[in-house]
Amino acid sequence: MAPPILKLDDIFLSFGGAPLLAGAALQVESGDKICLVGRNGSGKSTLLKIAAGLVDAQSGEVFRHPSATVRYLEQAPDFGGFETVQAYAEAGLGPGDDPYRVTYLLSHLGLTGEENPGNLSGGEARRAALARVLAPEPDILLLDEPTNHLDLPTIEWLEGELQKTRSALVLISHDRRFLEKVSTATVWLDRGTSRRLDRGFAFFEAWRDQVLEAEELEQHKLGKAIEREEHWLRYGVTARRKRNMRRLGELQTMRSQYRGHKGPQGTVQASASDAQESGKLVIEADKITKSYDQRPIVAPFSIRVHRGDCIGLVGPNGAGKTTLLKMLTGQLAPDSGTVKLGTNLDIATLDQKREDLNLEDTLANYLTDGRGENLLVNGEQRHVTGYMKEFLFQPEQARTPIKNLSGGERARLMLARILSRPANLLILDEPTNDLDIETLDLLQEIVTGFAGTVILVSHDRDFLDRTVTSTIAPADPETPDGRWIEYAGGYSDMLAQRKGAAEERRRAEKAERPKTQEAAAPSVSKVKLSYKQKFALENLPKEMAKAETEIARREQKMADPNLFTKDPATFNRLASEMEKLRESLTKMEEEWLELEMLREELEG
């Protein structure tokens, strides 16, 4: 086995109080694509900075291969001294690196290179920083939240770049789909220490649950052992004093281990505060339009939003998502057309820019609006520290300035405030930015269980698939022209419908060709399903049900909390089989959907 090009071992770091890192490790070999996961505040970014040499550990081993080049994606890049983005990106190149790669990357990231770095938005700054670290094709790429502020086309392009890069990767991200597609190994940072799974993120959550269940079982066994030793201490037959003292010492050690054990950080427990029920029709937009400088942002667009709908809004940056959202919620008047809002609307908004955060304010003051120690949640008076605990903030943080919080903690704080306000219409603009996986799970449950109406803007494909009932997207995602279409279902459903519509257009164009060009081209109305297509349409549901049964059988076997410890080979084999079955099931579902749409079109 080749030696590692980067190795962190037994890393310890504390900023006072409980240590942030206590025995954490990270080993990177050539070709590794590692995702670093853990709760907000678990030390992921700090460990990455130690790997990059930007932060010194208080103890532990840090090894970087002398010839290895390392590039670190900064959350807040420093553009000082650079007149253009091109100059900033080229400064990351080393001797012998190709300067044309900077131009290639900037063009794919939507930048010309002539931009003034001082005038960049958050998303543009992230793109410039990505170009700078990717251009040299270093031996090791350390990426902290690379997808933040990127639109979906750019995220999907970045996935392709990272999948084919020769650089070893260590990346932190909240985007499940991105992690599943890019990573081949997972390092879990939990309570200061790290565990490694030599499989991608798709297998992480099942493995994590197995580890926590085994840990809980070990604690239970330790508790029972302490009970037995205490019983012996009180009632056992006295043996030689030396032996008794040894057993007493062992008992004290077991008690210390039991009491000192820190369980996993709790989960966020919350729900949205209910307001009075809105009218059945929440929003009705009729042929609304908007243009800026003669450029159409919204061409005639109509929609009816009903109570209980959850609508996702997607599209590339600059397509007009925020403009359309503001028109639908009455914040911006359309150039033409009408928007009618329903009755009894109480609107709560989460802004992606976090603009209403006063960084000098304290957590308690922000949550209570400066009204003392209590706030009203669902008609019940709650003490602010008790409410904070539900969002994983400690009571001593009540007087902490917001500026001391990490990006994920700030996002969680804003979520806590939004959910304490009575609302029946939630407007969520990029709500998943900076949230850890567990808080994303909570947000998903809140959105899907919300009795009112939700409109959300997001680039998180997995979150969209899990929550929305319909998706609004540009008719032409490559070159948005103001036309928007509402698709039933989530992001994956939208892609499937677009694919079906494109194939339908191709069939129609083929049918309309002159007979001199294609004499055998039949009209659409005369086309029938082939025998092969009919057979597939009838048998695919059976095959899908069979695949689902096989997946369930393997999930049941993997639910054994001792399986990974006793037989890791069987656990890994079952996980691999389950991955292949899920891929096969997805392909069958897509094929069946296309055939069903074709059948309906031909019969209709």
- Section 235-258 average pLDDT: 58
Give the mean pLDDT of 120-126.
85
Vertex 151 angle, CA 102 and 288, to 5°: 135
- What is the mean pLDDT of the segment spanning 584-589? 84
Q: Which band of pLDDT confidence, cut at 50, 70 and 90, is reported for residue 597?
A: confident
Q: What does each C-alpha distance from 55 to 46, 49, 91, 133, 138 come to in angstroms?
A: 7, 6, 22, 19, 20
CA 249 from chain center: how many Å?
47
Window from 51-55, 354-358, 391-395, 458-462 with minimum mean pLDDT: 354-358
What is the structure's pLDDT at 215?
77
Domain 528-603, CATH? 1.10.287.380
Choose the weakest-confidence range: 284-293, 427-436, 457-466: 427-436
> Is 164 a residue whose pLDDT tops 60?
yes
Q: Mean pLDDT across the stretch 581-590?
A: 84
Note the pLDDT of residue 394: 82
| pLDDT for the residue 525 | 42
Assess contact for 177 and 462: CB atoms under 8 A: yes
Residue 209: the pLDDT is 85
**What number of other Cβ atoms are within 10 A of residue 558's Cβ?**
20
| Alpha-carbon span 100 to 90, nearest angstrom | 9
Q: Residue 67 pLDDT more than 50?
A: yes
State the pLDDT confidence band at 240, using cuts at 50, 70 and 90: very low
Dihedral pair phi/psi, residue 235, rounded to 5°: -120, -5
Average pLDDT over all residues of the chain: 83
pLDDT in tens, 463-481: 999 899 999 999 887 788 8
pTM for the full model?
0.69
What band does 521 get if pLDDT is binned at 50, 70 and 90?
very low
pLDDT at 276 over 60: yes
Cα separation values, 73 from 38, 48, 54, 96, 508, Å: 19, 10, 12, 21, 48
Q: What pLDDT is recorded for position 536?
A: 79
Beta-carbon contacts of 26 under 8 Å, excluding residues fewer than 6 positions away, are 6, 7, 8, 11, 34, 36, 47, 51, 170, 187, 194
Domain 6-206's class?
Answer: alpha beta
Query: Does residue 502 register a pLDDT over 50?
Result: yes
Separation of alpha carbons 286 and 301, rounded Å: 7
Cα–Cα distance, 80 to 83 (Å, whole number): 8
Model confidence pLDDT, tens digit, residues 185-209: 999 998 889 999 999 999 998 898 8
User: In Å, how far are 139, 489, 500, 545 from 593, measured between CA atoms?
Assistant: 43, 13, 9, 15
Q: What is the pLDDT of residue 105?
A: 94
What is the pLDDT at residue 251?
59
Residue 400 predicted with pLDDT over 80: yes
Rounded mean pLDDT of 30-52? 91
Tokens 């900023």 sit on residue: 15
The confidence band for 123, taking pLDDT boundaries of 50, 70 and 90, is confident
Q: What would the pLDDT profile of 530-572 be if each residue is shown by its tens digit?
A: 767 777 788 888 888 888 888 888 888 887 777 777 887 888 7
Residue linked to tokens 């670190």: 72
Using pLDDT thresholds of 50, 70 and 90, give the confidence band for residue 523.
very low
Quick one: pLDDT at residue 557? Answer: 83
pLDDT tens figures, 73-90? 987 788 988 999 999 999
Q: pLDDT-derived band of residue 267, with 50, 70 and 90 as boundaries?
A: low
**Mean pLDDT, residues 46-54:** 94
DSSP string, 69-137: -EEEE-SS---TT-SSHHHHHHTT--TT--THHHHHHHHHTT--S-S-GGG--HHHHHHHHHHHHHTT-
| pLDDT, position 411 | 79
Give per-residue pLDDT as tens, 328-385.
Answer: 999 999 999 999 998 888 888 887 665 567 888 999 998 988 888 888 887 788 898 9
Residue with tokens 């909390």: 561
In the predicted model, what is the mean pLDDT of residues 589-604? 78
List all residues 6 or more positions away from 191 whose beta carbon is below 8 Å from its beta carbon.
22, 42, 262, 264, 265
Q: Enumerate helices (H) and strands (E) in the chain, giving the number of each.
A: 18, 20
Residue 546 CA, chain-centre distance (Å), reads: 30
Report the pLDDT value the prediction gives residue 540, as an integer from 0 to 100: 84
Question: What is the per-residue pLDDT across 4-25, written as a single tens digit (0 to 9) for each?
Answer: 999 999 999 987 777 889 999 9
On whether the CB atoms of residues 88 and 133 are closer than 8 A, the answer is: no
Q: Which residue(s) pair with 195 in the sheet?
A: 188
CATH value of 281-489 in 3.40.50.720, 3.40.50.300, 3.20.20.450, 3.30.420.40: 3.40.50.300
- In the predicted model, is pLDDT for residue 270 greater than 80? no
Contact 469, 491 (CB under 8 A): no
Per-residue pLDDT, 517: 52
d(CA 329, CA 339): 8
